[in-house]
Structure 1
Amino acid sequence: MDSARREALVEHLVLREGFSHADIRWSYQPLLRGRGWDNEMWEVGQLDPGAARCGGARLVLRVPHREMGEQLLRGEVRALAQLDAHRPDLPLARPVVVGSGGMQRGGRRPYALLTWVEGDLVSAIVAAELREGGLRAGPRRESAAGPRRESAAGPRRESAAGPMRERPEAARLAIELARALADLHRPAPEDYPRSAVRGVALRERTDALQGEILALDASAPHLASVVREIWQQGLDAAPYSGDPLLLHGDPHPANLIRTDGPHPLGLIDWGDTTAGDPASDLGWLLLLDPSGSALSAYARARGGRDADGEARARAWAVRCATAMLVHEADPADTAHADLALCARAALEAFASPW
């Protein structure tokens, strides 16, 4: 994005109540801060320190680069506004929508001006611990299917699961996420955005998973076997029958920020937010902490264990991990390699629980 394109977007930008164009200090040249599956994030300026809201915050333009991203961004802007209204006390740092454009369908492409959540990507933190642990992991093991081959996650020595005591920060952050999700998971407003692929019954995702398992069979058959087993256990568990709960939808480690602010965790990218079965969110806990300790922390915060819900969460975990391993990332998505490493480690841990 060059400054001319930024100016064209700014021209149609509608600011939310409490923000003023006079408080925005635009940078000379937009800076690409990240590119995910659906959107690009361009740093474009900063709010004046004396602004009435979010004074001093850096600002990013969130711009879709594929059609699916347009739908997700519209849902994200709506959801963040509802969170501000209904859950202002949520113990998570999250982006604030400063303004948006193109939100009406059938018009120009949507985009949003958001505050930047300061901190460190949890995916990078966990991947660093995994790589360090991999140096002490010992020789690779052979499976009944023969020697293990490499997957999209990279060399086997980097993907060893290792005991959680070798990943203290991952374990700590998983507990923080568990507590935050326990607070987030309340009955959702009736008009809250709904996703067709998050928070739904497991059987609705079986067909998608089957193709991914076949791809995993070619690179890591011992892990494909674990995925099949855990997915079936999730299908055999009682389905979710409670109220549709408010979910983030995609709380993977690259959407988590370790912050120095009043909340230890930030959660970004609310494009997949939805209402439904909380197990969909809880599966991501297991990528941080495959031992299940974080799931136990969530259960304590919610008032008791739900064995069926935990079985569904493990099924969601293997489904998400498999997707991370078998789908190629956009070359500009620098976080994907770390996510694939987290995914491989979680599946290895499920295959060889400590």
Structure 2
Amino acid sequence: MRKDVYVYDLAGRLLAEQFPQWAGLPLTLLDPAGSDHVIFRLGADMAVRLPRGDWAAGQAEKEHRWLPLLAPGLPLALPVPLGLGKPSPETGYPWNWSVARWLDGTVPDAGTLDGPGRTRLRSVAYQLAGFLTALHHLPPANALLPGPHPDLVGESLHARDAGTRSAIAATADVFDAPAMTAAWDAALGAPPWSGQPLWFHGDFHTGNLLAGPDGRLSAVIDFGGLGLGDPACDLTIAYTLLGADARAAFRTARATDDATWARGLGWALSTGLNAYTTYAATHPLVAARTTRQVTQALTEFRRTA
């Protein structure tokens, strides 16, 4: 059976088994979707997300638990879940999956936004800063839902050291390896976050944003990396979408201190290199986006070093 036929059949059978009220609605496969999920549009106003592997298996349950609690306090729309699907012995599908509200919009493009006067990109920079300010100031997890929350413990920047240095070596013929090493060392050497743990998106890059026809942001999606801790990881967006001028406006609007900014640059470098070494050879769009991410991070490092 062809892969596309198989995933349509799987999604249809899961819906019929667990959400029969939606089983008769048309399914439209999004291609490409993402590295973590196969995504369908379900009818006019819903989406079905099926994890591709065990690395994404906990995301549906996390989003189902937290997004309805966080969404009312945020200035952009979120894909609030409508139903949490369960593993299905009947179909052999082993992970939780989800049905969520469909959000219209297109992924913003830096080249389109960064036009004459760059006013649209600066406007987006202020929207991004406003969203992160609102996210980081939401009540702590225990105030929203009592109990231990191990699913919100994020990865540390230092835990990425070996993988990042390996990626620097692997891409030395593409990017400036000495500059990457210096930028990475500076990020690891920056003082750690000493404030209260703050909410972070955890994968805050261009591909997880939606914009309307006017270029203004309308939604933030894919909260599988949601957590509490150092908010520096969310500064990755400053390198995946913003240029130097808009990035400066974004930093000022966020009132970001030097240490957090340095750690954020490290997150941008590390995640960009990881995606580049994993996907760039077979995905031209990923290659273009991650090349921009890494080169923007190096540009910023050279400017501030």
- Normalised-by-shorter TM-score class: 0.7 to 0.9
For residues 266-320 of structure 1, give each alpha carbon's deviation from its aligned partner in whole angstroms, at most 9, with x where no partner exists.
1100111111101111132233235341111111xxxxx4222122112222222
User: 1:91 matched to which residue of 2?
Assistant: 75
Mean alpha-carbon deviation: is it higher for 334-343 or for 178-187? Answer: 334-343
After TM superposition, the structure 1 = structure 2 runs for residues 279-290 of structure 1, keeping only pairs within 5 Å, are 279-290=232-243
- CA distance in 2 between counterparts of 1:335 and 1:26 reads 34
User: 1:267 matched to which residue of 2?
Assistant: 220
Indicate yes or no: 2:304 matched with 1:349. Answer: no
Structure with higher RCO (Cα < 8 A, 6+ apart): 1
User: 1:114 matched to which residue of 2?
Assistant: 100
The Cα shift of 1:341 comes to: 4.2
User: 1:340 matched to which residue of 2?
Assistant: 290
User: 2:145 matched to which residue of 1?
Assistant: none
The Cα shift of 1:95 comes to: 0.5
User: 1:230 matched to which residue of 2?
Assistant: 183
Match of residue 86, structure 2, among 102, 112, 124: 102
Q: Is the 8 A contact 2:36 2:53 kept in 1?
A: yes
User: 1:314 matched to which residue of 2?
Assistant: 265
User: 2:34 matched to which residue of 1?
Assistant: 36
Amino acid at match of 1:116: W
Match of residue 251, structure 1, among 204, 209, 225: 204
User: 1:6 matched to which residue of 2?
Assistant: 11
User: Structure 1 vs Structure 2: percent identity of aligned residues?
Assistant: 25
**Divergent runs of 4+, >6 A:** none
Change in Cα spacing, 1:65 to 1:118, as seen in structure 2 (3 Å) is same
Change in Cα spacing, 1:176 to 1:218, as seen in structure 2 (3 Å) is same
Give the greater-gyration-radius structure (CA). 1
The Cα shift of 1:206 comes to: 1.1
Match of residue 160, structure 2, among 185, 197, 205: 205
The Cα shift of 1:89 comes to: 2.8
The Cα shift of 1:29 comes to: 4.4
User: 1:194 matched to which residue of 2?
Assistant: 152
Indicate yes or no: 2:297 matched with 1:297. Answer: no
Change in Cα spacing, 1:337 to 1:216, as seen in structure 2 (3 Å) is closer
- CA distance in 2 between counterparts of 1:314 and 1:165 reads 27
Q: How many residues align?
A: 285
- CA distance in 2 between counterparts of 1:341 and 1:166 reads 24
- CA distance in 1 between counterparts of 2:122 and 2:288 reads 16
- CA distance in 2 between counterparts of 1:335 and 1:9 reads 31
Give the alignment's TM-score, normalised by structure 2.
0.80
The Cα shift of 1:76 comes to: 2.5
Q: Is the 8 A contact 1:254 1:339 kept in 2?
A: no
The Cα shift of 1:338 comes to: 4.4
- CA distance in 1 between counterparts of 2:11 and 2:47 reads 11
- CA distance in 2 between counterparts of 1:215 and 1:264 reads 35
Q: Which has the higher helix share?
A: 2
Give the alignment's TM-score, normalised by structure 1.
0.70
Q: CA RMSD in A?
A: 3.1
The Cα shift of 1:256 comes to: 0.7
Indicate yes or no: 2:66 matched with 1:79. Answer: yes
Unaligned runs of 5+ in 1: 16-20, 47-57, 131-163, 300-304
Change in Cα spacing, 1:335 to 1:91, as seen in structure 2 (3 Å) is farther
- CA distance in 1 between counterparts of 2:189 and 2:172 reads 23
- CA distance in 2 between counterparts of 1:166 and 1:226 reads 30
Amino acid at match of 1:80: L
Match of residue 324, structure 1, among 265, 275, 297: 275
User: 1:59 matched to which residue of 2?
Assistant: 46
- CA distance in 2 between counterparts of 1:344 and 1:237 reads 19
- CA distance in 2 between counterparts of 1:39 and 1:7 reads 16
Match of residue 125, structure 2, among 152, 161, 174: 174
